[in-house]
């Protein structure tokens, strides 16, 4: 019986069309959310990205070889050709040397720390420009879990938020859903480091009375149980005290450029390591007051 | 829906996943930090223009679930934005529409701008840490997506021609016109 002469199928279709967005708006969202319905899709996405990574590595290699070949052909004299070849080789060697230095730094970092680390390579980036996530080539199979810190030799990068079997998604500290507990090295002012956009973040909830200046180093406080204590996060870029706000507005620049990082470490076990001493030496800041140092 | 149509639809989904994979993996590997076009967006627009409204809408909702594997953006933002996007495209299609690339290319640019405007609007309304404006980045992204749209359009048209004549009759006739 349809007393109102309604097209019930159409009403149902419109109902469902609006129901899903409304349902999603009412859902509590956390970056660690991963429903059962997403598992096969995430598996497929990880597979596609790994395949594309291998493909693009191949294309990059072939393209550079092709470019080198074109350069050689364009030279007229034999000496110029040889010179060009030597230059090309030198450039390759420079790249190899840079990579060696980078890998040596990674090895050195690994050998000097008590922390249990897993090295990983970045294979892909986020779909949207206003979000900062990366996918790394290590997953649950290598002991990774959600909430583990991801770092480089220079500083904190983010944390694992969607581990798959052989790859994991990492939420970088510049993503607007990311939060890390931070502390200013010079004045010990506390705050929460929140991502703003690709390449920038901010220190929030810093009291107005706190002493924060441009150039100050912000390190992890270790309270979030993700990062070890004293690991560099960002440097203060600008500080603004607004009359209508109870806290300072502190803009930060991450110590590691998330767009340029290629190799990372995932922290399996921080082993209660305190890195404050090691990294504070790198900044030109006055020594800590004794009472702070003994904290 | 016939099994044949279902197969074509699956192929279209595979194409969409490949677009996302290419965008997130190959593009940054080859072009570094150069702004990436949204390769999946022409796919959504194509559906909106060449499929019935509800079919396009529910396909886009399903595609949103796939997109979650490539980003940290929440479903909370993607589904309502897709509702706006598909509805706007269907509305525009009813008002003025002519088949072919000359319509599709500018429509992709507008669609990309609408995606960004809706996303920023919804994010500032419903999220605590809202999406940044980044006007230059978003305009550049729309331009690059517009430039990339003919490639996706070509691939989708080829797939569309595989559909059974009775279900894809209108689309194929429009395209070959």
CA dihedral A195, A196, A199, A201 (to 10 degrees): -60
Arch. (CATH architecture) of B3-29+36-176: Orthogonal Bundle (1.10)
Query: Could you tell me how many residues make up chain B?
Result: 177
* Residue B145 token pair: 């997506």
pLDDT at B171: 56
pTM (two decimals): 0.74
**Judgement on whether residues A83 and A160 belong to the same structural domain of the protein:** no
What would the mean pLDDT of A61-79 be, rounded to a whole number? 74
**Judgement on whether residues A273 and A289 belong to the same structural domain of the protein:** yes
Give the single-character DSSP code of A221: -
| From A45, A59, A131, residue closest to B66, measured CB to CB | A45
Return the number of other C-beta atoms located less than 10 Å from residue A289's C-beta: 10
Q: Is residue A3 part of a domain?
A: no
**Judgement on whether residues A237 and A140 belong to the same structural domain of the protein:** yes
CA A234/CA A212 separation, integer angstroms: 13
**Judgement on whether residues A61 and A167 belong to the same structural domain of the protein:** no
Counting runs of H as helices and runs of E as strands, what totals does chain A give? 5, 12
Give the single-character DSSP code of B126: H
**pLDDT over threshold 50, residue A290:** no
Domain with residue A148: its CATH number is: 2.40.10.340
Q: Answer with the one of A112, A140, A165 that is the final residue of a domain.
A: A112
**Judgement on whether residues A86 and A124 belong to the same structural domain of the protein:** no
- What SS3 class is residue A237? strand
CA A262/CA B89 separation, integer angstroms: 39
pLDDT one-digit tens code per residue, A125-141: 999 888 899 999 999 99
B72–A contact, CB cutoff 8 A: yes
**Judgement on whether residues A66 and A42 belong to the same structural domain of the protein:** yes
**pLDDT over threshold 50, residue A285:** no
Work out the pLDDT band at A293, boundaries 50, 70, 90: very low
**A contacts of B26 (beta carbons < 8 Å):** 52, 55-56, 59
Q: Is residue A17 part of a domain?
A: no
**Judgement on whether residues A56 and A142 belong to the same structural domain of the protein:** no
pLDDT at B133: 85
- What SS3 class is residue B7? helix
**Judgement on whether residues A212 and A288 belong to the same structural domain of the protein:** yes
B75–A contact, CB cutoff 8 A: yes
* Residue B156 token pair: 């989708």
**pLDDT over threshold 90, residue A87:** no
| From B54, B65, B71, residue closest to A37, measured CB to CB | B65
**pLDDT over threshold 70, residue A272:** no
pLDDT at A67: 76
CA B67/CA B74 separation, integer angstroms: 10
Q: Is residue A274 part of a domain?
A: yes
CA A85/CA A71 separation, integer angstroms: 9
pLDDT at A10: 86
A253 and A212 Cβ atoms separated by less than 8 Å: no
Helical H runs in chain B? 3-21, 27-31, 41-50, 53-67, 75-95, 101-126, 135-160, 165-176
pLDDT at A292: 29
Q: Answer with the one of A77, A112, A147 that is the final residue of a domain.
A: A112
Among B60, B51, B58, B66, smallest CA distance to B5 is for B51
| From B40, B61, B71, residue closest to A131, measured CB to CB | B71
Q: Answer with the one of A86, A112, A138 that is the final residue of a domain.
A: A112
**Judgement on whether residues A84 and A143 belong to the same structural domain of the protein:** no
What would the mean pLDDT of A57-80 be, rounded to a whole number? 76
Structural domain of A235: 116-295
A273 and A113 Cβ atoms separated by less than 8 Å: yes
Distance of CA A175 to the CA centre of its chain: 8
Give pLDDT < 50 ranges for chain B.
Answer: 172, 176-177
Is the Cβ pair A177, B72 closer than 8 Å? Answer: yes
CA B56/CA B52 separation, integer angstroms: 6
Domains of chain B by residue range: 3-29+36-176
Structurally, chain A folds into a number of domains equal to 2
pLDDT one-digit tens code per residue, A142-158: 999 998 999 988 889 99
**pLDDT over threshold 90, residue A57:** no
């Amino acid at each position: 019986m349809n007393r109102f002469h309604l097209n019930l199928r159409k009403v149902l279709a419109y109902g469902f069309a609006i129901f899903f967005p409304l349902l999603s708006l009412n859902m509590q969202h956390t970056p660690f959310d991963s429903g059962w319905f997403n598992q096969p899709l995430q598996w497929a996405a990880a597979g596609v990205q790994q395949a594309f990574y291998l493909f693009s590595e191949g294309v990059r290699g072939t393209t550079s070889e092709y470019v080198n070949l074109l350069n050689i052909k364009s030279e007229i004299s034999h000496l110029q050709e040889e010179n060009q070849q030597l230059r090309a080789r030198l450039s390759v060697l420079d790249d190899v040397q840079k990579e060696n230095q980078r890998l040596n730094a990674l090895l050195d970092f690994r050998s000097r720390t008590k922390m249990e680390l897993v090295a990983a390579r970045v294979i892909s980036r986020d779909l949207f420009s206003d979000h900062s996530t990366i996918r790394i080539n290590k997953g649950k199979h290598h002991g990774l879990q959600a909430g583990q810190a991801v770092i480089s030799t220079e500083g904190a990068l983010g944390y694992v938020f969607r581990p798959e079997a052989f790859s994991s998604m990492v939420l970088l500290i510049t993503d607007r859903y990311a939060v890390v507990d931070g502390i200013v090295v010079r004045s010990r002012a506390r705050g929460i480091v929140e991502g703003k956009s690709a390449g920038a973040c901010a220190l929030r909830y810093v009291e107005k009375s706190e002493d924060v200046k441009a150039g100050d180093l912000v390190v992890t406080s270790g309270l979030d149980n993700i990062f070890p204590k004293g690991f560099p996060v960002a440097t203060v870029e600008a500080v603004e005290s607004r009359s209508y706000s109870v806290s300072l507005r502190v803009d930060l620049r991450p110590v590691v450029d998330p767009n340029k990082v290629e190799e990372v470490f995932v922290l399996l076990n921080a082993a209660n390591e305190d890195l404050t001493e090691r990294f504070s030496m790198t900044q030109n800041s006055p020594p800590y007051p004794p009472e702070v140092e003994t904290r | 829906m016939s099994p044949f149509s279902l197969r074509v639809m699956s192929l279209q989904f595979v194409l969409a996943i490949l677009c996302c994979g290419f965008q997130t993996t190959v593009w940054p590997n080859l072009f570094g930090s150069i702004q990436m076009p949204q390769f999946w967006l022409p796919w959504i627009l194509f559906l909106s223009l060449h499929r019935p409204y509800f079919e396009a809408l529910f396909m886009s909702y399903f595609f949103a679930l796939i997109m979650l594997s490539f980003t940290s953006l929440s479903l909370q933002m993607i589904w309502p934005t897709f509702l706006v996007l598909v509805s706007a495209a269907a509305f525009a299609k009813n008002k003025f529409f002519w088949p072919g690339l000359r319509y599709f290319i500018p429509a992709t640019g507008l669609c990309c701008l609408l995606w960004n405007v809706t996303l920023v609007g919804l994010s500032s309304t419903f999220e605590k840490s809202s999406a940044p404006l980044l006007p230059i980045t978003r305009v550049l992204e729309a331009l690059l997506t517009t430039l990339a749209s003919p490639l996706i359009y070509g691939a989708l048209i080829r797939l569309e021609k595989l559909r059974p004549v009775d279900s894809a009759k209108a689309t194929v006739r429009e395209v070959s016109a």
